[in-house]
Amino acid sequence: MKRLWLVSLVCVLLTMSVVAAPFVENEDLTSATNPVLGGTLSLLLTDSPQSFLFYGTLDNNAYTVIGQTMTGLVELHPVTNAIRPGLAESWSTSADGKEVTFKLRDIKWSDGVPFTADDVIFTFENFIMNTVAKGNSVDRFTILDTTDGVKKPVKWVKVNDKTIKAVLPSPFGPFFMNLSHAYIYPKHKLESKIDKNRQDSVNELWLSNVSPKDIVANGPYRIASYVMDQKVVLEKNPHYWKVDRFGNKLPYFDKLEYLIVKDPEVRLAKFIAGEVDYLAITAKDFPMLKSKELAGGPFTVFKAQPTQPTPSPVHIAFNFDVTDPELKELFRNTEFRRAMEYLLDRGRIIDEVYNGLAIPGAGLVLPANKAFYNAKIEKIIRPYAPNKAKEILDKLGLKDKNKDGIRDFASGKKVEFTLTVQSSPQDYQDVALIFKEDLEKVGIKVNLQILDGTLVGNMFGAGNFEAGIRAFGNQPDLELRKAIWQPGTQLYYWHYSALDKDNLVAITKNMFDWEKRLYELFDQGSINIDPAKRKAIYDEVQEIYHDVLPVIFVSKGMNLTGASKSLGNVTQDKEGIVFFSTYTAFRKK
Amino acid sequence: MEGTRKRVTESFFKHKLGVFGLVVLAILYLIIIFADFIAPYNYTTTHRNFVYAAPSKIRFRDLEGKWRGPYICEMTKARDPITYEVIFTEDLNTVVPVKFFVRGEEYKFLGIWTTNLHLFGVEESPDKAMLLLFGADRFGRDLFSRIVVGGRVSMTVGLLGTFLSVFIGAIIGSLSGYYGGRIDILIQRFIELLRSFPRIPLWLALAVIVPPNWPSTWVYFGIVTVLSLIGWMGVARVMRGLVLSLKEKEFVLAAKVMGVSDMKIIRKHLIPNTLSYLIVVSTLSIPGMILGESSISFLGLGIKEPMTSWGLLLKQAQSLSELESHPWLMIPGIFIMIAVLSFNFVGDALRDAVDPYRTVEKL
Amino acid sequence: MWAFIIRRILIMIPMMILASIICFVIIELQPGDFVSQYLDNPRISPEQIRLLREQLALDKPAITRYFMWVKGIVTKGDFGYSFAYQRPVGDLIWERMGWTVIIALVTIALQWVLAVPMGIYSALHPYSPGDYVMTFTGFLGISIPDFFFALILMFFMLKMGSTSVGGLFSTQFIGAPWTWAKFLDLLKHLWMPLVVVGVSGLAGLMRVMRGNMLDIIGSPFITSLRAYGLDEKTVRRHAIKNALNPMVSIAGSELPNVFSGTIITAIVLNLPTMGPFFYNALLNHDQYLVMAFLMFIALITQIGNLLADIALALLDPRIRMS
């Protein structure tokens, strides 16, 4: 009897320890066998964070800082973007795909209060689904119910303190991807501060003047102090639930300091001076830094395959709704756009504008994104071939009748248009210049219009342009970029006649056949959950984009980073991908 | 009056620095008038094979020591596989002579005649060899050509803007100081009001009012005129101070008693006495305009491609990596400094020459 | 005298009102508003943009918004909220006031302390080697664009291995309590902005002082003083006093200049002052923040001019009489 009791006790203890088992971080991030604990990691911010509440702001610097302190039910691997457990240690999906039950991790907030399903429900109700919260994600969790065609929100049901169920109107492929951005906030700290009568009072929580002691975290670090406009200091979260494969609690560093530096040259100077440990580098600065490294500098410069959204890949767009009727007919002609691609000298652009540190195309899906990349597009992308372009232009009837060096329409008007581009970053202008030169060599006149970024943004947003150069970052799942690449959306800016701006509904009858197909495909990609099926859908999207060219993707800059030699666990695998994270790096002795 | 002019000119030429400045300015202005002719290349043409090329080494003796006259060598461009830096290798066996009156890239002389005659250059195609006195920029464009053409904008804008602002400022300031009373107060308040506004937001706002489809030069002159309209206020304020002190002087009171009209007093007695100050102010303003233009280009609000100016050229050197790898891109800055210094020397000398009370003695 | 001062202060009120209108107009003339920067972001639906506009009252016409703002000031002393930081603009500006004022005052003080003696020396020993050296350095100082100068200084400092680059403190001293070490660190960082900002102003001031001195020295006024038999030292004193006259007017405009004219340098050298903060607010169309800053500068200008006028009257008795 006693033995049975002992055995069951051991069993219970074992199950308890299994249940409360921390998350063991992958070896790819923790390759070093002798990590050193302690010390401070120094990084950079481009400006002061505007808030410490993820849902109260749209500021990128705020996201950077908050991203170190908060996390969601699921997480993305910081480098490969693979989905893995976060605050939820496991989950199971029902057979019809409409219910997902999450088993929450048995952990505490940084102030020792236990984390429960109440926090999840609180966050969704007051922040994520709150339409007047600045950084809300209502769209991402409002899903189309395929049975009645109505969009409905995801419902969250508490099963018990450690279990919560999500009920979806229909199965939704990108659900987990969206969850990775849904950081969970502590109910016990914030609920009392919300004014129930004013839903937008949530935007006033945890602003930049809040005392750091009031901020509670569930990520690797928590906010320790903030010196306005100069630095934000984070410290190790004592209740963080990740360990390395040797049993050490993560993060290795005691402190993480973000220096606030507005000017890019000063950021570079601070990195070279050793005040900053890790920095994203532009193609322009790469040769100088690499030379310094080879001459014995205290840092390593990495050149890696692009895996991140930025630098945003540049594309060229021709406005299908341009006012001039002859240009309108021309721009809508797919053969014309193909001729334009033959005139795009990507090799020269990569060489001269990006110092050779970029890859061609890659505007939709990055080649390193194995889950979705369609290698077939490499055969579809057209090379630089001015003669082929000339053939096409001749066939379109655009000949230089009056021998002034510029082709003319049938009406006798010159083939000429304005190319609008923003003045900064510099590479957009440079791409425009090279493209313009090549077009003028075959007789098409281009007027370069370089203007302030906001002005250009407004012009594009109003459809007030002829041809333009713009860039949008890549995301690991095309669903997250649906609002750009799906025809009839707010950022499909070269064909606004396919969008009813007042009701924000797509006008399919104004779309071309291939646009209708794209429209369908994107909707299908949303509602399918089978990864193989989704890949097939987005494969076709990529093929259409590169064949019919709604826009012409130019190139994508490589991931260039610099890291101090004294940082441990910064490695590069044989495919060129750099592995680094703020909570697995350490200071070598 | 005859005597004054003679005295002033004599006095000016005694001032060595002033003469030096004048000569430098004359050269600069000559260069920019004949810019297209003096520049060996067109300032917008890109040359793929000479991206970021360093200034050409001009040699005189070949490998065997034989005298060949001035020549350069052919260059090949490559990219270092590790640092991605652009590397050039000279083929020392080639001899590309530098000649005068060479046929090169086409341009329109004074905007009228199309020709391709350049003062100097090489006859070789720019694919193999380029005469780059100051090196090339990110697109292989000859920096010397760009500086010479860009000088047109930088040098003329300074003159126009300053003249306008000093003219307006002097008149309004002296009116304000001389008449005093309500006119003074009104003008003063008005000036204060306008001067309260920092230039940068005014610039941003104005950069936008100007229609984006204006040709670049119009845009620029439009903005410069506005800047000068802001600049007159500083001059006015100080003029007022000077006139306030001057108007109580005996010779002014005497003129009043004699019945000389106010305008005549201002014109003939007050303003000439402040002339030296106005000159100092002018010479200090022209450089300010030139520098102002570079600040504006730095903010991305001024001249934009394909036009160019010294300020815009400097913007492209504005980074630690450029200073380290391609330092020749800073040369436009030297031109700015030379122009500014010359204007200052000339102004100084003029001031010394004009002041009738100038007896240079040690106190 | 007092009547004069009070009258001037009273006039400031309508001036500030006019200033506020002009500020508002300038900002309205810019295309786009605070919400425009989010147009590019696919994370934000058009619905959210519309809501945001409403929340910030940006959908109302300009005149309505202006009066809403004025009402806020008059009834609650509320100068508006920053759209980006969602805190009162007064707080945000006050937080950055400290360093801005310190750097501004130190710069001005340094400029004057150096420029006036240099100008006097130059005028008293014209064409001497000392004069040439000072003139030349002065000229050099004003011919170089300040942001470029800052970049070159940074470049050379890095080449020499220095780590005190950019900002006011090294990382370990930011936010730390004041110690002698921290003060030294501050000096190590502060010299660069002082040099960059001060050098250009210094040369200008020196030249003007020199010019004024030369004017006075050559004037019959001085000759007559000598004829009276006054010793050189007294004569010199009179000369300097008169030469300082126009400088006083310049001093009045120094203060707002140092606040706003050094924005670019502060951005390039990463100083935690109001300048870069304001520039960002401008680019972001953070309207009330920009308005508050502009009004602040307008106020400082008025006060500066008043002080200059008072000083002018004190220095020059002839003006007092008129």
Q: Which of residues 216-245 of A touch C (CB under 8 A)?
A: 225, 227-231, 233
Does the CB of A356 have a partner CB in chain B at under 8 Å? yes
User: B223 and B91, same structural domain?
Assistant: no
Contact C45 A490 (CB under 8 A): yes
Kindly tell me if the per-residue pLDDT of B94 is higher than 90.
Answer: no
User: B100 and B164, same structural domain?
Assistant: no
Q: Is C118 left (phi over 0), alpha (psi -120 to 50) or beta?
A: alpha
Q: What local confidence, expressed as pLDDT, does residue A323 receive?
A: 92
Question: For the CA atoms of B62, B65, B68, B74, what is the dihedral angle to 10 degrees?
Answer: 0
Alpha-carbon Rg of chain A, whole angstroms?
A: 26
User: B161 and B121, same structural domain?
Assistant: no
Paired tokens of B285: 């303003």
User: B221 and B150, same structural domain?
Assistant: yes
Average of per-residue pLDDT across B195-223: 64
- Cα A289 to Cα A282: distance, rounded to the nearest angstrom: 10
Q: What is the rounded average pLDDT for all residues in chain A? A: 89
- A546 Cβ neighbours under 8 A, 6+ residues apart: A361, A377, A380, A381, A553
Q: What local confidence, expressed as pLDDT, does residue B298 receive?
A: 67
Contact A278, A567 (CB under 8 A): yes
Q: What local confidence, expressed as pLDDT, does residue B351 receive?
A: 67
Of B255 and C252, which is predicted with more confidence? B255
Kindly tell me if the per-residue pLDDT of C153 is higher than 50.
Answer: yes
Interface test with C, best of A263, A451, A490, A522 (most C CBs within 10 A): A263
Q: In angstroms, how far is the first alpha carbon of chain B from the final one?
A: 30
pLDDT in tens, A547-561: 999 999 999 999 999
The helix-helix angle for C146-159 and A264-272 (nearest 10°) equals 10
Of C163 and A79, which is predicted with more confidence? A79
pLDDT in tens, A128-174: 998 888 888 888 898 888 888 888 999 999 999 999 999 999 888 88
Question: For the CA atoms of C267, C270, C271, C277, what is the dihedral angle to 10 degrees?
Answer: 50
Of C277 and A289, which is predicted with more confidence? A289
Query: Looking at CA atoms only, how far is residue B190 from chain A in angstroms?
Result: 31
Does the CB of B204 have a partner CB in chain C at under 8 Å? yes
Contact A450 B207 (CB under 8 A): no
Kindly tell me if the per-residue pLDDT of B2 is higher than 60.
Answer: no
Chains linked to A by 3 or more Cβ pairs within 8 Å: B, C
Last residue of a domain, one of A204, A221, A246: A204
Kindly tell me if the per-residue pLDDT of A256 is higher than 90.
Answer: yes
CB-CB neighbors (< 8 A) of A289 in chain B: 321
User: A322 and A192, same structural domain?
Assistant: no
Kindly tell me if the per-residue pLDDT of B202 is higher than 70.
Answer: no
CB-CB neighbors (< 8 A) of A346 in chain B: none
Last residue of a domain, one of B110, B140, B170: B140
Q: Is residue A576 part of a domain?
A: no
Determine which of B63-77, C217-231, C305-319 has the lowest per-residue pLDDT on average: C305-319
Q: What local confidence, expressed as pLDDT, does residue B359 receive?
A: 36
- Cα A132 to Cα C258: distance, rounded to the nearest angstrom: 41
- Cα A586 to Cα B219: distance, rounded to the nearest angstrom: 54
Contact C253 B363 (CB under 8 A): no
User: B112 and B82, same structural domain?
Assistant: yes
Q: Is residue B42 part of a domain?
A: no
Other beta carbons within 10 Å of A531: 11
Residue A467, strand partner residues: A318, A419
Residue A99, strand partner residues: A167
Q: In chain B, how many domains are there?
A: 2
The type of residue at A441 is: K
Contact A357 B83 (CB under 8 A): no
Q: Is A412 left (phi over 0), alpha (psi -120 to 50) or beta?
A: left
Most confident of A382-386, A529-533, C33-37: A382-386
User: B194 and B52, same structural domain?
Assistant: no
Contact A569, A28 (CB under 8 A): no
By CA distance, what is C263's nearest residue in B?
B200
Q: What local confidence, expressed as pLDDT, does residue C203 receive?
A: 76
Most confident of A165-169, A472-476, B75-79, B278-282: A165-169
A25: domain CATH number is: 3.90.76.10
Does the CB of A421 have a partner CB in chain B at under 8 Å? no
User: B227 and B97, same structural domain?
Assistant: no
Residue C162, strand partner residues: none
Paired tokens of B300: 């991305």
Paired tokens of A456: 């250009």
- pLDDT bin (cut points 50, 70, 90) of residue B363 is very low
In this structure, the strands spanning A416-422 and A445-451 are parallel
pLDDT in tens, A224-255: 999 877 889 999 999 999 999 888 888 999 99
SS3 B230: helix
CA distances from A411 to A287, A394, A439, B51 (A): 50, 15, 21, 41
- Give chain B's contact residues with A (Cβ, < 8 Å): 46, 48, 51, 79-80, 82-86, 138-139, 207-208, 212-213, 300-301, 304-306, 318-322, 324-325
Prior bond of B97 cis (ω within 30°): no
Q: What local confidence, expressed as pLDDT, does residue B250 receive?
A: 76
Q: What local confidence, expressed as pLDDT, does residue B358 receive?
A: 44
- Cα C66 to Cα C62: distance, rounded to the nearest angstrom: 6
Kindly tell me if the per-residue pLDDT of C322 is higher than 60.
Answer: no
Kindly tell me if the per-residue pLDDT of A312 is higher than 60.
Answer: yes
Q: What local confidence, expressed as pLDDT, does residue B197 receive?
A: 66
Kindly tell me if the per-residue pLDDT of C163 is higher than 90.
Answer: no
CA distances from B83 to A138, A291, A306, A558, C52 (A): 46, 6, 18, 14, 47
Residue A258, strand partner residues: A43, A232
Average of per-residue pLDDT across A301-309: 89
Interface test with C, best of B179, B192, B245 (most C CBs within 10 A): B192
Q: What local confidence, expressed as pLDDT, does residue B103 receive?
A: 84
Cβ-nearest to B341 among C143, C148, C253: C143
Q: Is residue B27 part of a domain?
A: yes
Q: Give the residue among C24, C35, C7 at the shortest CA–CA distance from C288.
A: C24
Q: Which domains does chain C have, with CATH numbers?
A: 97-273 (1.10.3720.10)
By CA distance, what is A208's nearest residue in C?
C85
Please give the ipTM for the structure prediction: 0.76
Query: Looking at CA atoms only, how far is residue A132 from chain C in angstroms?
Result: 7
Of A420 and C170, which is predicted with more confidence? A420
User: B280 and B260, same structural domain?
Assistant: yes
Q: What is the rounded average pLDDT for all residues in chain C? A: 78
Q: Give the residue among B10, B4, B6, B22 at the shortest CA–CA distance from B341.
A: B22
Interface test with B, best of C215, C245, C255, C277 (most B CBs within 10 A): C215
By CA distance, what is B321's nearest residue in C?
C155
- Cα C215 to Cα B359: distance, rounded to the nearest angstrom: 10
By CA distance, what is C208's nearest residue in B?
B280
Contact A132 C96 (CB under 8 A): no
By CA distance, what is A140's nearest residue in C?
C43
Q: Is residue A272 part of a domain?
A: no
- pLDDT bin (cut points 50, 70, 90) of residue B204 is low
* DSSP secondary structure letters along B267-278: IIIIHHHTHHHH
Q: Give the residue among A132, A120, A138, A118 at the shortest CA–CA distance from A178.
A: A138
Paired tokens of A194: 């919300």
SS3 A107: coil
Query: Looking at CA atoms only, how far is residue C19 from chain B in angstroms?
Result: 6
Of A44 and C318, which is predicted with more confidence? A44
Determine which of B46-60, B87-101, C127-141 has the lowest per-residue pLDDT on average: C127-141
Q: Give the residue among B249, B250, B252 at the shortest CA–CA distance from B261.
A: B252
Q: What local confidence, expressed as pLDDT, does residue A19 receive?
A: 45
- pLDDT bin (cut points 50, 70, 90) of residue B361 is very low
Give the number of beta-carbon pairs within 8 Å between A and C: 129
Q: What local confidence, expressed as pLDDT, does residue A354 receive?
A: 92
Last residue of a domain, one of A187, A204, A221: A204
Does the CB of B250 have a partner CB in chain C at under 8 Å? no
Average of per-residue pLDDT across A277-287: 92
User: B68 and B130, same structural domain?
Assistant: yes
Most confident of A306-320, B228-242, C264-278: A306-320
Kindly tell me if the per-residue pLDDT of B344 is higher than 80.
Answer: no
Of B35 and B195, which is predicted with more confidence? B35
Q: Give the residue among C10, C81, C53 at the shortest CA–CA distance from C287.
A: C81
- pLDDT bin (cut points 50, 70, 90) of residue C84 is confident
- Cα angle: C286, vertex C291, C295; to 5 degrees: 155
pLDDT in tens, A519-550: 999 988 888 878 899 999 999 999 999 999 99
Q: Is residue A295 part of a domain?
A: no
Other beta carbons within 10 Å of B125: 10
Last residue of a domain, one of B140, B156, B174: B140
Contact A285 B83 (CB under 8 A): no
B281: domain CATH number is: 1.10.3720.10
- Side-chain half-sphere exposure of A143, counting CA atoms within 13 A: 25
Alpha-carbon dihedral sign for residues A225, A228, A229, A230: negative
Kindly tell me if the per-residue pLDDT of A17 is higher than 50.
Answer: no
User: A318 and A198, same structural domain?
Assistant: no
Other beta carbons within 10 Å of A510: 18
CA distances from A463 to A270, A340, A460, A494 (A): 41, 21, 5, 7
Does the CB of B333 have a partner CB in chain C at under 8 Å? yes
CA distances from B311 to A263, A326, A425, B320 (A): 19, 39, 18, 17
Cβ-nearest to C279 among B200, B344, B355: B200
CB-CB neighbors (< 8 A) of B277 in chain C: 211-212, 215, 246
Lateral strand order in the sheet of A163-167: A88-93, A99-104, A163-167, A155-160
Contact C291, C30 (CB under 8 A): no
Residue A74, strand partner residues: A85
Q: Give the residue among A195, A386, C218 at the shortest CA–CA distance from B355.
A: C218
User: B177 and B155, same structural domain?
Assistant: yes
CB-CB neighbors (< 8 A) of A42 in chain C: 171
CB-CB neighbors (< 8 A) of A225 in chain C: 175
- pLDDT bin (cut points 50, 70, 90) of residue B284 is low
Contact B164, B225 (CB under 8 A): yes
Q: What is the rounded average pLDDT for all residues in chain B? A: 78
Last residue of a domain, one of A159, A182, A204: A204
Provide the whole-model pTM.
0.82
Q: What local confidence, expressed as pLDDT, does residue A224 receive?
A: 93
User: B192 and B313, same structural domain?
Assistant: yes
- A330 Cβ neighbours under 8 A, 6+ residues apart: A336, A396, A409, A415
Q: Is residue A461 part of a domain?
A: yes
User: B96 and B9, same structural domain?
Assistant: no
Last residue of a domain, one of B140, B167, B198: B140
Of A451 and A218, which is predicted with more confidence? A218
Q: Is residue A463 part of a domain?
A: yes
Q: In chain A, how many domains are there?
A: 2
Contact C280 A131 (CB under 8 A): no
SS3 B29: helix
- C35 Cβ neighbours under 8 A, 6+ residues apart: C49, C52, C53, C56, C58
Cα A389 from chain centre: 35
User: Could you list the residue range(s) of the whole structural domain that residue A159 is in?
Assistant: 8-204
Alpha-carbon dihedral sign for residues C246, C248, C252, C257: positive
User: Could you list the residue range(s) of the whole structural domain that residue B156 is in?
Assistant: 2-33+146-362
Q: What local confidence, expressed as pLDDT, does residue A18 receive?
A: 45
Determine which of A281-295, A572-586, B16-30, C286-300 has the lowest per-residue pLDDT on average: C286-300
